[in-house]
Amino acid sequence: MSALQPQLDEIARRLRDAADAVNDSAELEELRVRFLGRSGEVTLVRRGIGALPPAERPDAGKLINDAVAQMEMVLDAASARIARGALDEELQRRIDVTFPAPDAALGSIHPVRRIIEEIAETFERLGFATVLGAEVEPSYYTFDALNIPADHPAREGFDSFFITPELLLRPHTSPMQIRTMQQHRPPVAILAPGRCYRRDAVDARHLFQFHQVEGLLVAEGINFGHLKGALAHLSRTLFGPDQRVRFRPSFFPFTEPSAEVDTTCPKCKGSGASCSMCGGSGWIEIGGAGMVHPNVLREVGYDPAEVSGWAFGVGVERIALARYEIDDIRRLIESEPDFLRQLQ
């Protein structure tokens, strides 16, 4: 019995020495087999238990088991040390992280669409639906139903492309007001983005085709303050939290009161000081708005005594020019790859 303990201690000491000297996991495995394997040194000692008197055998077994557990701990520690060493080696790796990665194969969304999406998203969060409509419209939807009868001088302001005397390319997205209200009873809350056309000579500020987003909210208790709030909210979403909005009285036959809507010039932040974007006024015009005219509500069968509402139309290109500091509106339609790449 007393002879067993020193023998095990001696084996353990040799194992410890050997384990300390080992530096890779294969050698360590060899060590495990040499000491603890099927014909390893400890196994040989364990076989010797059979030769002991039966009364001593349990104690001897326990001694051996304890010694094995100790030795396994030594081997595990060595294994952990070796594994860690391998990681430390991995940690020495260095690559040039500034080396350019290849470009992802993503395309891009046109800036005009991006702005439409931001506007739509802003209003969809408020509960608006977004609808699309035709670009060729009868004059009933573009003018008559919008309280612009034939010969009204305001028709001249919408210098339109005609297909026939009764059919034209819409000069604004407002026909969607009429179409939506005729199809749905109030309340109605829609956004209608789309292409519009006017006979403007093309230059750095004008295109004969452009995009507008129409907004329309008709329900009980809707007032001009809500219109101001909604467009201020939109303008802050598009240009930043400090944005202010200015409403100037104007005239549109389909709204009353009507307003031109300006927002703080995003370039000079409203200071105006020799600013090329706003011409020094500190404001940029984003569109027109107003309370839906009672004649329009009556035309679609709504009762102006019961419901009220507002409508606005904002120019997408105009917002894009201000937002991205684009020098020439024609760049939007030219869609040059470099232009799209810069604004993607």
Partner 1 sequence: MRLPLAWLRTYIDLPDDVDAIAEKLSMLGFPVESIERKPTISGVVVGRITALEKHPNADRLQVCTIEIGASKALTIATAATNVAVGQTIPVAQIGAVLPHITIAPRKMRGVESEGMLCSAEELALPAEWFEDGIMQLDETLPLGTDVVTAFGLCEPILEVEITSNRADAMSVLGIARELAAAYGTTLRSPSLENPGSEAAPTEHAPQIELRSSDCTRFVAQRIEGVRVAPAPSAIRIRLAQAGQRPIDALVDISNFVMLEIGQPLHFYDADAIPHAHLIVRDAAPGERLTTIDERELELDARALVIADENGVQGLAGIKGGAIGEIRASTTALLIEGATFVGARIRRTSARFALRTEASARHERTLPPALADAGVARAASLLATLGARAFAPVVVGDAIPQATPIALNSLSVKRLLGIEASPDSIAFHLRALGCEVAVEGEQLAVRPPWWRRDLTQSVDLIEEYARLEGYERIPESLPCVPATEVSSARYRREREAAHLLEALGYREVLTYSLVGESLLGALAKGGLDERSRSVEVANPLSEEQHYLRASLEAGLLAYLARRDERAAIFEIGHAFSRGESTVLETPTIALALATESIEEPTWQDRGFMQIKRDTFALLARLTGRSISAVSGEHRFLHPGICAILSIDGRPVGVVGRLHPYLAQSFELARPIYLAALDADALPDYVAPTYTPPSKFPATYRDLALVLAPDIEAAAVERIAREAVGADCVGIRVFDEYRGAQVGADKKSLAVRITLQSPN
Of 18-26, 44-52, 61-69, 158-166, the segment contacting partner 1 by CB under 8 A is 158-166
Interatomic CA distance for residues 4 and 332, integer angstroms: 92
Structure tokens at 254: 């389909």
Q: What does DSSP say about strands 129-130 and 255-264: parallel, antiparallel, or unpaired?
A: unpaired
Q: In the complex, what is the shortest distance from the CB of residue 316 to partner 1, in angstroms, rounded to a whole number?
A: 11
322 lies in the binding site for Zn ion (CB under 5 A): no
Cβ closest to partner 1, residue 67 vs residue 245: 245
74 lies in the binding site for partner 1 (CB under 8 A): no
Of these partners, Zn ion, partner 1, none, which one is at the site of residue 259 (CB under 5 to 8 Å by kind)? partner 1
Cis peptide before 165 (omega within 30 of 0): no
Q: Among 12, 36, 49, 219, which residue interacts with partner 1 (rule: CB under 8 A)?
A: 219
Cβ closest to partner 1, residue 11 vs residue 190: 190
286 lies in the binding site for Zn ion (CB under 5 A): no
Backbone phi, then psi, for 137, in 5-degree steps?
-130, 145
Of 58-66, 107-115, 134-142, 271-279, the segment contacting Zn ion by CB under 5 A is 271-279
278 lies in the binding site for Zn ion (CB under 5 A): yes
Q: CB within 8 A of 94, min separation 6: which ones?
A: none
267 lies in the binding site for Zn ion (CB under 5 A): yes
| Angle, vertex CA 194, rays to CA 116 and CA 148, nearest 5 | 125
86 lies in the binding site for partner 1 (CB under 8 A): no
277 lies in the binding site for Zn ion (CB under 5 A): yes
Torsion from C-alpha of 232, 234, 235, 238, nearest 10 degrees: 160
Of 8-16, 26-34, 196-204, 320-328, the segment contacting partner 1 by CB under 8 A is 196-204
Smallest Cα–Cα separation from 307: which of 291, 286, 323, 321? 291
